[in-house]
Structure formats: structure tokens, C-alpha cells
Amino acid sequence: MPELDEVYYSRDATVAAFQNYYRFLATMYLDEDLIEYPPEGGWPNITPDRWEGFDKTDEVFALLRQLPYIKKYPIDMDDVFTAPGGPFSNYAAFPPTCNGEDIKRDTEYIAPDFDNTVIPPRIVGLVSWAKDSPVILLDTELGVIYWFECPSGVRSQEGILSGLDTWAEEELIPEDQVEWRESCRIWAIEDFFEEVKTQFRKLNFVPVGDDNVDHFWIGRGDPEYTAMMHDIQKVYRDCGWPDSKSFSKRECHTAVLGMLQEKYPSEAYRYLPENVSRRVS
């Protein structure tokens, strides 16, 4: 676990961490053609005067301007989940007419207990709202990522920062900002992406189809759902995962679909063969 004084923010390192993460997902389930990289100079449509009410620092806009993003599927315009339960936000695709307060609400909402909490302008939400979507926030001043109420299996992992009281004492964060952050797990930015990749390798994060990702600890209390997760994990392992040299996305997704059709037909309808053929490269 790094010491607090060893953690710092770097825009270039953050951009590289996103790029490496998306390339990793492309080895497992993500269609690589959906990764969009900014033109030289960054996304021209992401500027500080965009999205009235968004209220973010110039550094947040500078980072968003340089990040890669994931496009929607061109035919059905579905979002691709890049975290368990939700897609990372594509800020380059938000039109100028978007209400900035709506964007903040959809990417930063941290539960009714913290309704009066204001997320500082230096922090930006990474995940767009979806059912069961996580709240993952990136701090461009402290160089960390917060995952609000992250899954229990991830909360127990090493590499998580602590010491919020120290941050408050050193006036890095105001005292009224400590409570909501204590409900998060916190990583240095690059460590966060490495931890998420580790969970994918272990299949604790499970792609169900090629555009939906769930986590194994979702706690639905549904024995059939748990059995389905075990069966999907087995298919991935039988197809060679996590050995990227022997693993084939296409073969694995076809095998997952066949298993779902045979054992869990109520789930299989969402993953039609033509979609798998069209999407998985």
C-alpha cells in the first residue's frame, strides 16, 4: 500500500492508465474498434464553457479532453459496460445542450445518506448511471480514485489507501468531506485500474455477453444467478482465460451463448447470435 505522500496526480499517467485498461478489456470481451482515441490536441468539443452547471476545474476538462472513450454499438446504440454494472462515461459524446447538473447527478450520486454532499469541482465521475451501476470518482488534485460502496470482495484487497483523517488534518480535504470518502475504497489512479484488471483475470468481474459486466459478489440471493455466474466462469476458463495467447474472444462468447441457451434460456435471449457475430472481433 503506498504512503499518502507517495501518491500524486499526473494527467499523462492517467490517460495512459485508461488506454491500457481499454486495451486489456479488448483482449477479453470489448470490441477494439469501439475504442476512440482523441485527435491531436484533444477532443475539440470538450471545453470549460460546455455543459452549464457542470462546475469542474480546468484540469478536469483538460483530462477529459485527452481521454480515450468507448463508442456505443453503431446498430442498436447500446452502451458497453467497462465496469461491473455500468459503462464509463463518454464525455466526448455528450452534446453541448446537456445540462451539467444532470451529468453530475448521473455520474456522482452517492446515495441518500449524503444528499447534502457537494462533490468538489476537481473530482469527476467516471461511470454513467445504469441499474446497479457503481459510483467511481477520479480526483485530479490528490491523484486517487474513489469507489463508493464497492463490492465486498474488492474492499478486502491490498493496495487500498487509508488515512482520511490525516488528509483532513493536513487540509487536503475539508472535514465535511471525510464522511462520504470513508464510505469509499480509495486507490492511486494507476493502482485502481490494475486492481480492476486483476478482478477480471480472476473472473470476479464477469462479462455476460459482450457488453454487460457483473461482479460475482452482487449478492442477489438468487441460487440460479450464482450458478449461472459459476458456469460462465467455467466457460471462460475452458476457453483459456486468462492466458491471452490461447484465449479467443469469439469462441468464448459463442460458447457462453450456447451454455446460456441450454441452461438459462431466460437470460440467453439478450445475447442473440447475430449480435455476438457482429460485435465480437
Q: What is the pLDDT of residue 164?
A: 60
**Domain positions in the chain:** 4-201, 219-279
Q: Which amino acid is at 1?
A: M
Q: Mean pLDDT across the stretch 6-21?
A: 95
CA dist., res. 9 & res. 22, Å (int): 20
E strand or H helix at 145: strand 144-148
Q: What is the pLDDT of residue 162?
A: 58
- Those residues whose C-beta lies under 8 Å from the C-beta of residue 198, and which sit 6 or more positions away, are 157
Q: What is the pLDDT of residue 37?
A: 97
Check pLDDT > 90 for residue 56: yes
More confident residue, 171 or 266: 266
**Quick check: bond before 242 cis, omega within 30?**
yes
Ranges of H-type helices in the chain:
11-28, 58-66, 100-108, 152-155, 164-169, 178-182, 189-201, 223-238, 249-263, 265-268, 273-279
Number of H helices, E strands in the chain: 11, 8
Burial of 203 (0-12, 13-18, 19+ CB in 10 A): buried
Predicted confidence band of residue 271 (pLDDT cuts 50, 70, 90) = low
Q: Mean pLDDT across the stretch 136-164?
A: 77
Q: What is the pLDDT of residue 276?
A: 45
199 to each of 10, 204, 207, how far by Cα in Å?
24, 5, 11
Burial of 201 (0-12, 13-18, 19+ CB in 10 A): middle
Q: Mean pLDDT across the stretch 254-263?
A: 90
More confident residue, 275 or 114: 114
Least confident of 12-16, 51-55, 109-113, 177-181: 109-113
For 225-248, the pLDDT digits (tens) are 888 889 999 999 999 999 988 999
Predicted confidence band of residue 165 (pLDDT cuts 50, 70, 90) = low
Q: What is the pLDDT of residue 278?
A: 45
